[in-house]
């Protein structure tokens, strides 16, 4: 592939000829030409932008960000009023994007695993039901699904004729349900639950070390279960065992109290999560089918129960095949959340769109959007790569 | 007993107590849901030629909404009296597609003239202005022809670009490689919506004030580039799986880069990754629906617009089921075709059926 031009006995003219004919030199020439073209083209575009912006009297730059946004946002995770800055509005949108993405990933993963495992079931009927689920959801455009759910919710009865569910109501204002009344005790219980999860992870690490180095077996499952139940319970009791509930009640035209999931959020979440779940189901199926049959036979010979077979033999090996495509599925779910524009859930793309229409700063709004999505995609694939290293085969 | 019906039932539905319970539960649910669907969709339903009054009276589905609204759904804003033109254009498109997909025509000497002629015919039919056909602006195009136009434009522009990008990513020239990687990863990292926003709102800023590019064309190019970045990664996979010996054999024959690539490497690479390529083509068909965000009148936008009619808006489920079926049918045909081509390739690789 490298130089073919060295020939000490040749004349000068011939040497120049071979010099130009050499692959290395030619490749540098090509690249130089390409770079020059690219720079020239970029400069042309840049000067056009400058001219156009001057003609339209639009000031460039991000100077508009600290100005007051003057538009209301329906759903926010942090405090926001129309007097707040554009920067804060973008932050609200970003948080909403992350919120719907995380909820979507959890829902899609749970559904996808259930359907994927169902697809490889021995039960013919179950397998067929799961195939139908996958084929139907996968082949209908996600945006059609989101619009469909939003129309379905909009056509539900109004709060006066609400559909009653155990502990909640389903109306065209969304899903309203009973939650525990706000109390510090609940917060501490949540903290305790989190601490218990961390502790139980530590316990299983410790148990593994004891097993590998000293051959001692700990009843890990029971210890972890006890931790996860006892610690939050203890915290709850110590805070005076709050048990008041915040029940939704019909007042006038809408519900007071309780917790409401908005129609926009529900439609978007259902649409993108169901769509992604059909792809995740296929990934799970492919992963499970990649486990060699001998592994199953060996586990059955050792009289593993179906649950243990799944938990200790199939899933760990299938994970290695599943994690890379799962990662790209999660990234695409995050990107699909941007179709909130059509149902009016105020996430990043929606806020950017409003910002673009209101200030005319199209370049800046789109630049913000692109950078944020690139960061989200990059972080997701980074995290999944780390996880991939954790589940990958460890040769010893 | 080994291969009778009872054996099959036992093995696949009733092999254990748990399996039996599961089967019975599923059967009950399926029968209940199936019966409800049948009552709603067929027994209690109003047919395609019904009226609003009949639909109000009926308890089941109202398919009359399709009979009433199929023309605005399929043709969008296109002038009512001229709608035979998009219909004919769709027919031309369909025939061209069928010819393209049949192996008899798989030759560049057939395919290029075929597409040039049919594209010309379709654009004459759609925009008019010659042969006494009234002229129709592209902003009035809509419905299914627009969806098909977006789809075929995406594939026709996107496929060559994706091959170039994939070759660029595998190129030994570091600058070219870096450029391709940046372009591919940059576009793959952002949602399609940002590309559409760029095509509609930002792209005109990059052109001289007196130069204007048709909005539809800008959007098609945007979607095509997005498609090309995903397809480039698929084709890269194909390129990587061409055995090294093929490159070496070409080098021994003293073939240059272009001959090696176009005659030896690319045909093999494309053949290897054909299933994945068709998967992305099907995805591209679904992705055309994103243009609803920028107000282009494709099938989905037209349907949503039709659903604003207060008389018919309560029959939204029937309408959305109808266009979901259009997408399903089309996607199903493409994926069946992909399976068939795969089988054909396998057969041509192992003519005797031995591996």
Collect all residues of chain B within an 8 Å Cβ-Cβ radius of residue A123.
12-13, 19, 22-23, 26
Helix, strand, or coil here: B339? helix
User: Which tokens is A286 given?
Assistant: 């492919």
Q: Who among A31, A52, A342 is closest to B173 (CB)?
A: A31
Whether the CB-CB separation of B285 and B331 falls below 8 Å is answered with yes
Which pLDDT belongs to residue B1?
52
Q: Alpha carbon of B314 to those of A155, A170, A297: distances in Å?
A: 8, 19, 55
Collect all residues of chain B within an 8 Å Cβ-Cβ radius of residue A336.
191
Higher pLDDT: A321 or A275? It is A275
Residue B296 has pLDDT above 50, yes or no: yes
Of A368, A329, A350, the C-alpha closest to A112 is A329
Of A270-274, B135-139, B245-249, highest mean pLDDT: A270-274
Please check whether residue A349 touches B, CB under 8 A: yes
CB pairs under 8 A between A and B: 139
Predicted confidence (pLDDT) per residue in A82-139, tens digit: 899 999 999 999 999 999 999 999 999 999 999 999 998 889 999 999 999 999 999 9
Collect all residues of chain A within an 8 Å Cβ-Cβ radius of residue B198.
366
Of A32, A45, A63, A73, the C-alpha closest to A353 is A73
Average pLDDT for B162-174: 92
Predicted confidence (pLDDT) per residue in B208-237, tens digit: 888 888 889 999 999 999 999 999 999 999
Average pLDDT for B62-85: 90
B98 C-beta neighbours (distance < 10 Å), count: 10
B339 C-beta neighbours (distance < 10 Å), count: 11
| Predicted-complex ipTM score | 0.89
Please check whether residue B186 touches A, CB under 8 A: yes
DSSP 3-state percent helix, strand, coil across chain A (nearest 5): 70, 5, 25
Predicted confidence (pLDDT) per residue in A345-393, tens digit: 999 999 999 998 888 888 899 999 999 999 998 888 888 788 888 777 7
Whether the CB-CB separation of B72 and B299 falls below 8 Å is answered with no
Q: Who among B27, B207, B300 is closest to A144 (CB)?
A: B300
Collect all residues of chain B within an 8 Å Cβ-Cβ radius of residue A144.
289, 300, 320, 323-324, 327
Say which residues have a Cβ less than 8 Å from residue A178's Cβ, sequence separation at least 6. Answer: A167, A168, A245, A246, A247, A248, A258, A259
Say which residues have a Cβ less than 8 Å from residue B319's Cβ, sequence separation at least 6. Answer: B65, B66, B69, B73, B303, B306, B307, B312
Residue A180 bridge partners (DSSP):
A245
Residues 286 through 315 of chain A touching chain B, CB cutoff 8 Å: none
Predicted confidence (pLDDT) per residue in B108-132, tens digit: 788 888 888 998 998 899 888 888 8
Q: Who among B173, B190, B209 is closest to A374 (CB)?
A: B190
User: Which tokens is A223 given?
Assistant: 């210890």
In this prediction the pTM is 0.86
CB contact under 8 A, A48 and B207: yes
Which pLDDT belongs to residue A107?
96
The pLDDT-based confidence of A237 (bands split at 50, 70, 90) is confident
Whether the CB-CB separation of A204 and A269 falls below 8 Å is answered with no
Question: How many angstroms separate the CA atoms of B213 and B107, rounded?
Answer: 32
Percent of all residues in chain B with a pLDDT value above 70, rounded to a whole number? 97
Please check whether residue A147 touches B, CB under 8 A: yes
Q: Who among A125, A155, A341 is closest to B23 (CB)?
A: A125
Residues 366 through 395 of chain A touching chain B, CB cutoff 8 Å: 366, 369-370, 373-374, 377-378
Average pLDDT for B313-339: 90
Which pLDDT belongs to residue B229?
95
Residue A174 bridge partners (DSSP):
A171
Higher pLDDT: A240 or B148? It is B148
Residue A7 has pLDDT above 60, yes or no: no
């Amino acid at each position: 592939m490298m130089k073919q031009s060295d020939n000490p006995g040749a004349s000068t003219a011939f040497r120049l000829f071979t010099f130009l004919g050499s692959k290395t030199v030619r490749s540098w020439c090509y690249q130089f030409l390409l770079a020059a073209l690219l720079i020239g083209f970029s400069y042309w575009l840049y000067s056009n932008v400058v001219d156009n912006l001057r003609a339209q009297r639009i000031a460039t730059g991000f100077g508009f960000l600290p100005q007051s946004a003057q538009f209301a946002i329906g759903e926010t995770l942090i405090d926001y009023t129309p007097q707040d800055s554009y920067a804060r509005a973008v932050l609200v949108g970003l948080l909403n994007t992350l919120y719907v993405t995380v909820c979507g990933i959890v829902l899609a993963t749970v559904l996808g695993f259930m359907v994927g495992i169902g697809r490889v079931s021995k039960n013919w009927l179950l397998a067929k039901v799961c195939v139908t689920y996958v084929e139907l959801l996968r082949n209908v455009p996600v945006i059609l699904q989101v619009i469909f759910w939003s129309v379905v919710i909009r056509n539900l009865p109004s709060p006066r004729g609400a559909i009653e569910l155990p502990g909640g109501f389903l109306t065209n204002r969304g899903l309203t349900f009973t939650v525990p009344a706000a109390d510090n005790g609940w917060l501490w219980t949540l903290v305790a639950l989190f601490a218990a999860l961390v502790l139980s992870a530590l316990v299983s690490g410790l148990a593994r070390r004891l097993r590998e180095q000293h051959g001692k077996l700990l009843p890990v499952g029971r210890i972890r279960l006890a931790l996860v139940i006892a610690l939050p319970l203890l915290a709850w009791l110590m805070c005076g065992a709050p048990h008041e509930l915040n029940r939704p009640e019909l007042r006038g035209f809408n519900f007071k109290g309780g917790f409401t999931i908005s129609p926009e959020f529900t439609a978007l979440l259902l649409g993108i999560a169901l769509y992604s779940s059909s792809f995740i189901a296929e990934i799970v199926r492919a992963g499970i089918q990649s486990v060699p049959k001998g592994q199953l036979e060996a586990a059955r010979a050792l009289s593993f129960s179906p649950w243990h077979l799944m938990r200790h033999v199939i899933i760990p090996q299938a994970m290695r095949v599943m994690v890379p495509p799962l990662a790209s599925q999660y990234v695409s779910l995050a990107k699909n959340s941007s179709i909130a524009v059509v149902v009016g859930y105020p996430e990043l793309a929606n806020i950017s769109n409003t910002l673009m229409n209101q200030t005319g700063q199209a370049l800046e709004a789109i630049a913000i959007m692109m950078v944020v999505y690139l960061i989200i995609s990059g972080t997701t694939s980074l995290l999944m790569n780390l996880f991939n290293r954790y589940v990958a085969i460890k040769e010893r | 007993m080994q291969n009778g019906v009872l054996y099959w039932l036992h093995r696949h539905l009733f092999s254990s107590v748990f399996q039996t319970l599961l089967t019975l539960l599923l059967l009950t649910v399926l029968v209940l849901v199936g019966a409800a669907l049948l009552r709603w969709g067929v027994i209690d339903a109003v047919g395609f030629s019904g009226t609003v009054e009949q639909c109000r009276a009926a308890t089941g589905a109202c398919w009359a909404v399709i009979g009433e609204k199929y023309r605005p759904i399929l043709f969008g804003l296109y002038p009512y009296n001229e709608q035979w033109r998009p219909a004919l254009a769709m027919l031309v498109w369909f025939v061209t597609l069928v010819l393209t997909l049949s192996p008899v025509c798989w030759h560049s000497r057939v395919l290029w003239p075929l597409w040039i002629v049919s594209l010309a015919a379709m654009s004459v039919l759609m925009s008019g202005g010659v042969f006494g056909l009234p002229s129709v602006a592209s902003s009035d195009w809509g419905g299914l022809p627009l969806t098909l136009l977006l789809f075929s434009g995406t594939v026709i522009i996107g496929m060559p670009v994706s091959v170039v990008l994939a070759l660029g990513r595998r190129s030994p020239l570091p600058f070219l490689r870096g450029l391709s990687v940046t372009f591919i990863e940059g576009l793959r990292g952002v949602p399609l919506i940002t590309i559409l926003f760029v095509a509609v709102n930002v792209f005109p800023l990059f052109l001289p004030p007196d130069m204007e590019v048709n909005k539809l064309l800008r959007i098609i190019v945007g979607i095509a580039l997005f498609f090309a970045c995903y397809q480039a990664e698929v084709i890269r996979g194909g390129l990587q799986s061409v055995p090294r010996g093929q490159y070496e054999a070409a080098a021994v024959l003293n073939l240059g880069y272009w001959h090696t690539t176009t005659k030896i490497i690319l045909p093999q690479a494309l053949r290897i990754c054909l299933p994945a390529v068709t998967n992305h083509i099907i995805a591209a068909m679904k992705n055309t629906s994103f243009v609803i965000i920028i107000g282009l009148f494709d099938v989905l936008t037209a349907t949503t617009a039709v659903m604003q009619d207060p008389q018919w808006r309560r029959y939204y489920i029937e309408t959305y089921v109808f266009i979901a079926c259009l997408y399903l049918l089309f996607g199903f045909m493409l994926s069946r075709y992909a399976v068939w081509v795969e089988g054909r390739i396998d057969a041509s690789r192992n003519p005797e059926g031995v591996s």
